[in-house]
Structure 1
Amino acid sequence: MIRSAARLCIAAAALCCALPLAARETQGPVVEAPAGAVRGQAVDGLHVFRGIRYAEAPVGQLRWKPPVPARRWDGVRDATRFGASCHQPPSRPGSLYAPAEMPAMSEDCLFLNVWAPQDARDAPVFVWIHGGALSGGTSSDPMYDGAALARQGLVVVSINYRLGVLGYLAHPDLSRESPEGVSGNYGLLDQIEALRWVQRNIAAFGGDPGNVTIAGESAGALSVMYLMASPQARGLFHRAIAQSAYMITMPALRETVHGTPSAEQTGLELSRRLGVRGLARLRAMDPQELTIKAALAAYMPLGNVDGKVLPAQLVDVFDRGQQAPVPILAGFNEGEIRSLRFLLPPPPADAATYEAEIRARYGSLAEAMLARYPSTDLDAAMLATTRDAMYGWTAERLVRAQTALGQPSYLYFWNHGYPAMDQSGLHAFHASEIPYVMGTRAGTPPAWPKVPDTTADNAMARATREYWASFARDGRPAAAGLPAWPAYGEARAYMAFAGTPQPGEHLMPGMFELVETVVCRRRAQGDQPWHWNVGVIAPVLPEGVAGCP
């Protein structure tokens, strides 16, 4: 069924053809962009364009190649339907994030979408990068509809990029093929090419190419960090928003680092597990079959440190101040792990077992760990330990790093709940801020606790959109009639979103320092990753590490 749907999508795209000039405006707004002319739809004061190709499809025997800019087309292309989504496996059974139905998929998936006020001129540009662990998701997801943000005066762009094994596979033979001598990072190269398309074309849609904000949640926020670290993306954006980013260990292209096999070795091992030898055979595999088999073989897509696209570990790039010097808005959610419990270790038998494990693994830091994550509520302690190690630490690290570069930096803490969410035990879960930011209450997946249509929740959505849009406009988040959002600065200020926006100072005192110390020792130790291997399953932490607390 999935393959048949993908073929139908490709066939539909092939039917797009030029329209007579006289018919253009009566059938929808037409934009004459450098890439070619496109016809969209006029919707309640907006001009909406869907399924615009930004790069040629690297399919079949061109699989695992960098994207090539789309060739300029003649005539007027229809841009009223989304393009195909990139190949991805079915959602995890019971997932809160599973769509109502799987989208039509194809390797020919490098499309983007534009929402613009009909009278836009030099408007700020907001580029949304979807999440999904770099293995799933699509710009056509109803929760990512850009209309509400566009009504804040932005030109909103959402993009597809290659996912999973098709987007991130590294392999020695692929590196030998490459003029740069590298492989992997194809999905990130897609994002960079999409940003180049924005630079060349967005003015035709009313956007200002000199005022571009990149934004994303989860793997989209990870991608924001990759783009900030990549020399190839420098100058393509001017502000960054990272919602629930995670600065975990990255594989290196050719060597084992921090207990993580090289990206090329992972590619070789995947080929062995699939029983497929040689690039020609891998490229001959059906893309959806390959995607699913790779996922079943536990292939985990990540950007790799290749010295070209990604020059170093993210922590090192940001420590050295070598990232893009742009203002940032970053934050995390109180209940991140409530919907991601597969990241948790098995629960200990009782409080005594928990305390014994923490003391055995954390040594001189054990008492600080037990004070912050006490045994009085084991479930809460484990949820918070993993949340902070991945998301809380990363958010504060980002705003600290950009502050050190002299850039305006803003931290938030999402702690907003509503009855259906809280009754499901999912208070402020991972991604629960997105319908508020995007104004897409009606676009959430079927299993999502439905966002209520109440005065309070509508006010929270309005506030969130205004803060985000204002930051995209001029680098300073503000909302009419609501508290001023102070920059992080020496006071370590932040904005809490819980019922109503409320500013505060020094979020979770001691949390950042504790996780930073753990990560510092892991980095110095050199043979262990830092991600969700924390709490009762943490490797024994070394003591007396030079340069670390």
Structure 2
Amino acid sequence: MRGAVSLMAALLILGCTHVEAARAQPVVDAPAGSLRGEALAGVDVYRGVPYALPPSGWRRWRPPAEIPRWRGTRDASRFGPACHQPVGRSTSIYAAAEDPVMSEDCLFLNVWTPQGASKAPVFVWIHGGALVGGASNETTYDAARMAASQGMVVVSINYRLGVLGYMAHPELSVESRRNVSGNYGLLDQIAALKWVEANIAAFGGDPDNVTIAGESAGGLSVMYLMAAPQARGLFDRAIAQSAYMISTSELRSSRYGDPPAEGVGYWVQGVVGAENLAAMRAMDPQALTMAAAGAGFTPRGTIDGDVLPEELVTIFDRGEQAPVPLLAGFNAGEIRSLRALAPAEPADAAAYEGEIRARYGELAEAFLALYPSSDIPGSILATPRDGLYGWTAERLVRRQTRLGQPAFLYYFDHGYPAADDAGLHAFHAAELPYVFGTADRTPPRWPAIPDTAVEHDLSAAMMAYWGSFARDGAPKAPDQPDWPAYGSTRSYMAFEQGPVVRERLMPGMYELHEAVVCRRRVAGGVPWTFNFGVISPPLPPAAPACP
């Protein structure tokens, strides 16, 4: 193998994440307080670092509060609890071996820093999980190899989830000086970034060189942070992996068919059997979480004119998002592991074409050219993939390019035997072990990644591209092709058996879904969420403002 690729292969083979260096436990004295971490091979790690006060009791459904400097030296050798989320036996490939330890006292972050680092780039990771589940301590996100190989400080964060993180309610709005509610999980993320700004220099990081990154709901969170005025200036670059720019509920109105967020809060109060907000605050947090999720509460940001001023599509159209370099992309098999997002297949080609023509009108022929009746199973999977993830990724790089910012598009289309044999080629989140170098640390039901030179080289290349983008905004990897900006040629990087530069990803895909969303925006009353293809509502008529 070559250069950095050979080094990364050696790290993967040796499993250096768990090899303790022969030196004393590291101690750092940050403005937040003194911490004692753990020394690994070339990396110091500080786990379970609190960045805000516990949001429990009367602080439940309140913005995060700054934690005072603690006395003494805090043990930072173990992860903190996860935030409350639904649990239970699951056969999902994403399920951990055991349910997480959970608490409302969950606003923790973790720091991996190269030993001797000084003014190193900072990479802040926001986990996925549909804003319902997940945690910063998942083994796939172990950042020791990334930090060591890329010479950067990596931070992973927890944030409130589900009903505890995203419920709005009229009584909560009355409590707020700004007369708003909801978005608590997003406010947690902003608080974590403020903590990074104030403290990361003590760990060898550069607070003026911060990249935010996330996958799935983490990618959605990256877009929220790019749109949120309160997050402006807290980061310098952004990475959005498999993000989805769906419509967002408004606090007290309903322009696009989503119910008002405060009304949803009243509905939650009813389904959990609480008399008022005080009774909801007195409920057991896990019981509340399970009851709301079981009733169908779907966490999402809230357009409140404060934390989120407008719909994401509108903010990005106006050029009001953070003017930062961006890297974004999606996976070929997103829906293969998310079958709940795929509608039932029509009985035959005639039924499929009939549904599409009835729903898409004069755009039906363009739709059928992209998603033909000759391959109904493939088209059923490709439609929500592109309507959610593909359109979003290309829209993001187009809008950042229009702002004059470098923007880089990728398409992860890498397969390996265990995944392909299971019908999971390039599935949702399949790129994560390659980005973090954690092929040996995936969940128990995850298709096993083989220990081969091809896999090691791809992981080393992706880690280098992500690391160099975080370092200076230009994704590069040793002995690999330069990654051109999207620009006027619509260039992108395809990750297949290795990285390959290509142009014009899926011609017509972006244009079709942009036209669909545009018509829904102009007409009003119809959201853009998961309602594409044979489950799309009838398309509103053409509008002059739409392509």
Fold similarity call, TM over 0.5: yes
Residue number in structure 2 paired with 1:95: 92
> Which of 431, 448, 464 is the matching residue for 1:466?
464
Measured in 2, the distance between the counterparts of 1:352 and 1:59 equals 56
What is the identity, as a one-letter code, of the residue corresponding to 2:329?
A: G
Write the distance in 1 (CA, Å) between the matches of 2:527 and 2:307.
21
1:331-350, CA deviations, whole angstroms, 9 ceiling, x for partnerless residues?
00000000001011121111
Give the Cα–Cα distance (whole angstroms) in 2 for the partners of residues 156 and 29 of structure 1.
Answer: 17
Look up the match of 2:299. 301
**Residue 195 of structure 1: how far off its partner (Å):** 0.2
2:65 paired with 1:68:
yes
Distance in 2 (CA, whole Å) between partners of 1:148 and 1:27 is 20
What is the deviation of 1:62? 1.7
Unpaired segments ≥5 residues, structure 1: 1-24
Sort the Cα spacing of 1:91 and 1:468 in 2 relative to 1 into closer, same or farther, 3 A: farther
Q: How many residues align?
A: 525
Q: Would you say 1:170 and 2:168 are equivalent positions?
A: yes
Question: How far did 1:154 drift?
Answer: 0.6
Amino acid at match of 2:222: V
Give the distance between the partners of 1:91 and 1:370, measured in 2 at CA: 40
Which amino acid in 2 is paired with 1:79? A
**Equivalent residues of 1:91, 1:98 under 8 A apart:** no
Give the counterpart of 1:77 among 71, 74, 79.
Answer: 74
* 1:507 corresponds to which of 505, 508, 528: 505
Q: CA separation in 2, counterparts of 1:328 and 1:479? A: 17
In 2, the alpha carbon distance for the partners of 1:455 and 1:131 equals 29
Corresponding residue of 1:494 = 492
Task: Please give the alpha-carbon distance, in whole angstroms, between the structure 1 residues aligned to 2:372 and 2:23.
Answer: 65
Match of residue 240, structure 2, among 222, 239, 242: 242
What SS does the corresponding residue of 1:114 show, helix, strand or coil? Answer: strand
Per the alignment, residue 105 of structure 2 pairs with: 108
Distance in 2, Cα, partners of 1:212 & 1:529: 33
* Structure 1: distance between partners of 2:88 and 2:146: 28
Q: Which residue of 1 aligns with 2:224?
A: 226
Within the candidate set 45, 50, 54, 2:47 is matched to 50
CA distance in 1, matches of 2:178, 2:146: 39
User: How far, CA to CA, are the matches of 2:398 and 2:294 in structure 1?
Assistant: 38
Counterpart of 1:185? 183
The aligned runs of 1:335-350 (5 Å cut-off) are: 335-350=333-348
Residue identity in the other structure for 1:231: P
CA deviations on 1:436-472 (whole Å, 9 max, x unpaired) are 0011112211111011111100000000000000000
Indicate the residue corresponding to 2:397 in structure 1.
Answer: 399
SS in structure 2 of the partner of residue 107 of structure 1:
coil
- Structure 1 Cα separation of the partners of residues 478 and 342 of structure 2: 40
Q: Which residue of 2 aligns with 1:131?
A: 128
Match of 1:496, SS state, is strand
Please give the secondary structure, in 1, of the residue aligned with 2:362: helix
What is the match of residue 32 of structure 2? 35
**1:522 counterpart residue number:** 520
SS of residue matched to 1:170: coil
Distance in 1 separating the partners of 2:367 and 2:472? 40
Amino acid at match of 1:520: C
> Comparing 26-35 with 304-313, which one deviates more in the overlay?
26-35
Aligned ranges for residues 357-436 of structure 1 at < 5 Å? 357-436=355-434
Q: Does 1:142 align with 2:124?
A: no
Q: CA deviation at 1:61?
A: 2.2
> Is the 1:241–1:329 Cα contact (8 Å) retained in structure 2?
yes
Counterpart of 1:107, as a letter, is E
Q: TM-score, normalised by structure 2?
A: 0.95
Q: Which residue of 98, 117, 121 maps to 2:114?
A: 117
Cα RMSD of the aligned pairs, angstroms, is 1.0
Which segment is superposed worse, 272-281 or 172-181? 272-281
SS of the counterpart of 1:69? coil
**Cα displacement (A) at 1:90:** 1.5
Report the 3-state secondary structure (helix = DSSP H, G, I; strand = E; otherwise coil) of the residue aligned with 1:323.
coil
Matched with 1:203 is 201
* Cα distance in structure 1, aligned partners of 2:542 and 2:191: 45
2:537 aligned partner, one-letter code: P
> Structure 2 counterpart of 1:219, which letter?
A
TM-score, normalised by the number of residues in structure 1: 0.95
5+ residue gaps, structure 2: 1-21
**SS of alignment partner, residue 269 of structure 1:** helix
Report the counterpart of residue 11 of structure 2 in structure 1. none
Moved more, 245-254 or 538-547: 538-547
- Bigger drift between 93-102 and 211-220 goes to 93-102
After superposition, the Cα gap between the structure-2 partners of 1:463 and 1:427, relative to the gap in structure 1 and judged at 3 Å, is same
Q: Which of 457, 474, 477 is equivalent to 1:476? A: 474
- Partner Cα separation in structure 2 for residue 40 and residue 93 of structure 1: 33
Matching residue's letter, 1:538: S
Q: Using the alignment, how far apart are the partners of 2:77 and 2:364 within structure 1? A: 57
8 Å CA contact retained: 1:170, 1:264: yes
Q: State the distance in 2 between where 1:512 and 1:526 align.
A: 21
Runs of 4 or more, structure 1, over 6 Å off, are none
Q: CA deviation at 1:26?
A: 6.8
Residues 23 and 39 of structure 2 are in contact (CA less than 8 Å); yes or no, is this contact kept in structure 1?
no
Does the CA-based 8 Å contact 2:269-2:277 persist in structure 1? no
1:75 is displaced (CA, Å) by 0.8
Q: CA deviation at 1:274?
A: 1.7
Kept in 2: contact 1:40–1:48 (CA 8 A): yes
> In structure 1, the residue corresponding to 2:374 is in which secondary structure?
coil
Secondary structure in structure 2 of the residue aligned to 1:442: coil
Query: Is 1:310 aligned to residue 299 of structure 2?
Result: no
| Residue of structure 1 in register with 2:9 after alignment | none
Structure 2 residue aligned with 1:538: 536
Letter in structure 2 aligned against 1:206: G
Shift of 1:211: 0.1
Distance (whole Å) between structure 2 residues aligned to residue 150 and residue 67 of structure 1: 28
- Which amino acid is the alignment partner of residue 506 of structure 1? R
Inter-partner Cα distance in structure 2 for 1:384 and 1:357: 16
1:383-405 CA-to-partner distances (Å, cap 9, x unmatched) read 11110000000000000011011
Measured against aligned partners, the alpha-carbon deviations of 1:500-530 in whole angstroms (never above 9, x if no partner) come to: 1000111111100010000000111101111
Determine the C-alpha separation between the residues in 2 that align with 1:500 and 1:537.
36
2:7 alignment counterpart: none
8 Å CA contact 1:421–1:427 kept in 2: the answer is yes
- Matched to 1:72, the amino acid is R
Counterpart of 1:264, as a letter, is: E
The answer (yes or no) to whether the contact 2:468–2:476 under 8 Å persists in 1 is yes
Secondary structure at 2:80's aligned position in 1?
Answer: coil
Listed one character per residue, the Cα deviations across residues 155-201 of structure 1 (whole Å, up to 9, x for unaligned) are: 00000000000000100000001111000000000000000000000
The letter of the residue matching 1:429 is F
In structure 1, C-alpha distance between the alignment counterparts of 2:274 and 2:23, rounded to whole Å? 53
Match of 1:441 among 439, 442, 459: 439
